[in-house]
Amino acid sequence: MTFRTRFAPSPTGPLHLGHAYSALLAHDMAVAQNGEFLLRIEDIDQSRARPEWETQIYEDLAWLGLSWSPNVVRQSDRFAAYDEALDALWTQGLLYPCTCSRRDIANALSAPQEGYPTHGPDGVIYPGTCRLDARQISGPRPKGAVMRLNMDLATSRIGQDNAMSSYRFNDMNKAPQDVVFTSEDVTSNVGDIVLSRKDMGTSYHLSVVLDDAAQGITDVIRGADLFEATQIHVVLQRILSFPTPTYHHHKLIRDNTGKRLAKRDDARAISKFRSEGYTPEDIRKMVGLSGQDSGAISSVSVPSTTDV
């Protein structure tokens, strides 16, 4: 199978050194494997996505010396595919509409059950206030509503089909063992996640799983901040009968104080380095991907705001 990976930035701000590291690493791995490097513009949040940031993504990546497959996927072109998947999950009784406000959820969580976590990889673990039994759900899916996945029902269906209720995925940075988790883990640590938001008609988790499958991604190379979210993606892949890619959750680039870089870190924006006369090789050096340490997962020293 051809190695195929992707870089999936959101056009909501400038790419910074952390993005450069992720894109360079994915690109280098694709080249080393004689594989393909794809680009996906993750712009489901139309209130924050801007065409000028998308243009800058292409410019920054080209300046870094990367080339990508010409079929760039833009998530905003894929709302029909997300809708279709939501309809299929709705028909299977795996979704329910949620009308809780943040305050309702906070109130319900103010008396948590002892021993149960209140926060998971998707934020607060929904206490189940609106959860309906699948048999009570009928008719067409209400559009424009918040839709939650009934995690308990979803994992028990997967369990029935597979005669086992554990999940695994291979994380190259944790090899040789697979990362294994159970239905119980995902029910209690993640809970009923939102698969469709009112303002978006989809969610990050649903879109990323559908798009990785549609783009035939064999290897997902992304930051360690998304490691916990991968269990959600693996469950969705099982429900939707998609293969699970191999994951590589790489280190995060941090500033000198140990803080992870964020979109608002304009001082470390690739475009800023570019305009100040740095070279792509300088960027590779800064993130630890130059010459002999190419591909190494090592600690790096990123110039602090005052250094640049």
**Binding piece for ligand GLU, criterion CB under 6 A, among 3-11, 27-35, 124-132, 155-163:** 3-11
Rule CB under 6 A: is residue 5 a binding residue for ligand GLU?
Answer: no
**Residues 87, 141: contact at Cβ < 8 Å?**
yes
**Binding piece for ligand GLU, criterion CB under 6 A, among 4-12, 161-169, 192-200, 239-247:** 4-12
**Binding piece for ligand GLU, criterion CB under 6 A, among 7-15, 111-119, 158-166, 297-305:** 7-15
**Contact with ligand GLU (CB under 6 A): which of 89, 194, 208, 234?**
208
Instruction: Tell me the Ramachandran region of residue 163: left when phi exceeds 0, alpha when psi lies from -120 to 50, beta otherwise.
Output: left
State the nearest-atom distance from the C-beta of 89 to ligand GLU, in Å.
Answer: 20
State the nearest-atom distance from the C-beta of 222 to ligand GLU, in Å.
Answer: 4
Number of chain positions touching ligand GLU (CB under 6 A): 7
Tell me whether residue 105 or residue 194 sits nearer to ligand GLU (CB atom): 194
Tell me whether residue 233 or residue 284 sits nearer to ligand GLU (CB atom): 233
**Residues 182, 156: contact at Cβ < 8 Å?**
no
Helices (H), the chain: 17-32, 51-63, 79-91, 102-109, 151-162, 183-189, 204-214, 230-239, 270-275, 280-287
Q: Cα separations (Å) of 148 from 90, 128, 130, 206, 286?
A: 10, 10, 9, 11, 41
**Contact with ligand GLU (CB under 6 A): which of 5, 8, 82, 169?**
8
Instruction: Tell me the Ramachandran region of residue 241: left when phi exceeds 0, alpha when psi lies from -120 to 50, beta otherwise.
Output: left
Rule CB under 6 A: is residue 226 a binding residue for ligand GLU?
Answer: yes
The DSSP annotation for 46-110 comes to: TTT--HHHHHHHHHHHHHTT----S--EEGGG-HHHHHHHHHHHHHTT-EEEE---HHHHHHHHT
Rule CB under 6 A: is residue 205 a binding residue for ligand GLU?
Answer: no
Tell me whether residue 42 or residue 255 sits nearer to ligand GLU (CB atom): 42
Where on the chain is the footprint of ligand GLU (CB under 6 A)? 8-10, 42, 208, 222, 226
